[in-house]
Amino acid sequence: MSEPKKRPGFWWLLFYGRPRRGFPWLLVAVLGAAVVLGLVFAVPGGVDVSRVGAAGLFLVVFVAALALAFLAIWRPRRRP
């Protein structure tokens, strides 16, 4: 009988695929946002600031989505 195939390790599964190039800016941005939000909650009154910031962020994302939807209707994609 042949030996069972070994299962790849955790790190191999995590980084499997095509090699990445460049600096991982998205990872740095997510970690930085987590640190900033943690510091906001450490400041007295920071919870209220985070609520206002969340409402503002929601408004910005909502307006951007509407603008992109109108842009998509106004200028449809070209067919190849």
| Number of domains comprising the chain | 1
Tens-place pLDDT, residues 24-80: 899 999 999 999 888 888 889 888 888 898 899 999 999 999 999 999 888 877 777
Q: Is residue 20 part of a domain?
A: no
Crossing angle between the packed helical segments 46-74 and 25-42, to the nearest 10 degrees: 140
Q: Is residue 19 part of a domain?
A: no
Q: Is residue 25 part of a domain?
A: no
Q: Is residue 70 part of a domain?
A: yes
Tokens representing residue 2 in the block = 């042949």
Would you state the torsion angle of the CA atoms of residues 62, 67, 68, 70, taken in this order, to the nearest 10 degrees? Answer: 120
Rounded to whole angstroms, how far apart are CA atoms 18 and 33? Answer: 27
Q: Is residue 36 part of a domain?
A: no
The closest alpha carbon to 49, from 60, 36, 35, belongs to 36
Q: Is residue 5 part of a domain?
A: no
Q: Is residue 71 part of a domain?
A: yes
Tokens representing residue 50 in the block = 């985070």
Q: Residue 70 is part of which domain span? A: 47-75
